A = this chain, B = another copy of it.
Amino acid sequence: VTVKALRHYEEEGLLRPVRVDPQTGYRYYAAEQLVCLTQILQLKDLGFSLNEVRACLDAPESLAALLDARRTALARALAEDVGRLRRLDALRHGLAAGAPLDVVVRMLEPTRALTAREHVDLASDRITSLFETLERDAARAKARAAASPFLLFHDNCLDGDHADVEVCVPVRPGVRLDGVREVEGATEAAAVTYLGPYQQTPSLFVKLAAWCDADQCTVCGPLRETYRRFGAGQRGYSLPEWMLAGPSSEYVTELAMPVRRVPA
């Protein structure tokens, strides 16, 4: 422990010197205080803040509860770090395989959404009209959450002219409405964000698939296409301005593919 740390503990009222020379201001500590100091250092090492350390020492009867709380927090932090490490490895492997930086590994939050699943003709405007309908329904029920709408490709295939898709419009948590479900998230997903019209989706899908291949990843969920900025009819509903784009050259779209690292 440094002098500065001891001074700090004194300021925080954790460890007062037994004597402070009024002449020189020198702090003197008693041998017994080593016991207290050791406790402070131990609790600090377990991840407690100095305030929490004070709580532990002041109220030993609630120590058990504080330890349990700390344990929970530590376990969660640890789990998050494990996820971080995996995402880092995924990125690193993709990089080694020559993937461009614009493929990003991130988490997908689980989202409550009003959805409609259908086998659609990709050449038609069926998807658009489904979105218009759901937006209107969500607006009527005052359930719309301020998050981007998205599309799930349940067969993870964009080669044909038809696909099994699910149109999703986020709603506020707790909303109960017919057609609302909890769309699963993913701890890791390979993602690309692109600018411009939707024609790029199929080629980017191929790029993502190649990335996963090179990276020893397996796809473990439906491809998710999130519309960050897009064009909307806004008949019977209205969206915040940050979601909207004028010409399709200004659309911003994210393709995300949930993956799992294959254990090597």
* Interface, chain A (partner B; CB < 8 A): 31-32, 34-35, 38-39, 41-42, 45-47, 60, 63-64, 67-68, 70-71, 74-75, 77-78, 81-82, 84-85, 87-89, 91-92, 95-96, 101-102, 104-107, 191, 193, 195, 228-229, 245, 250-252, 254
Contact = CB atoms under 8 A, between A and B. Distances in A.
B64 A92 contact: yes
A34 B81 contact: no
Contacts of A191: 38
Contacts of A85: 71, 74-75, 78
A229 B31 contact: yes
21 contacts: A31-B250, A31-B252, A32-B195, A34-B193, A34-B228, A34-B229, A35-B193, A38-B104, A38-B193, A42-B91, A42-B105, A45-B107, A46-B91, A63-B101, A64-B95, A64-B96, A67-B88, A67-B92, A71-B88, A78-B78, A78-B81
A119 to B, nearest CB: 31
A112 B164 CA distance: 67
Given A31-B245, A34-B193, A64-B95, 4 more contacts: A39-B101, A67-B95, A78-B78, A78-B82
Nearest to A41: B106
Copies in the complex: 2
Smallest CB-CB A-B distances: 6 pairs: A31-B252, A42-B104, A67-B92, A78-B81, A35-B193, A46-B88
B195 A31 contact: yes
Nearest to A32: B195
A245 B32 CA distance: 12
A96 B46 CA distance: 18
Contacts of A67: 88, 91-92, 95
Contact of A77 (B75, B81, B91, B250): B81
A95 B68 CA distance: 11
A46 B193 contact: no
A195 B31 CA distance: 7
B81 A74 contact: yes
Nearest to A106: B42
Contacts of A87: 45-46
A254 B42 CA distance: 14
A232 to B, nearest CB: 15
Contacts of A81: 74, 77-78, 81
A106 B195 contact: no
A88 B74 contact: yes
A118 to B, nearest CB: 29
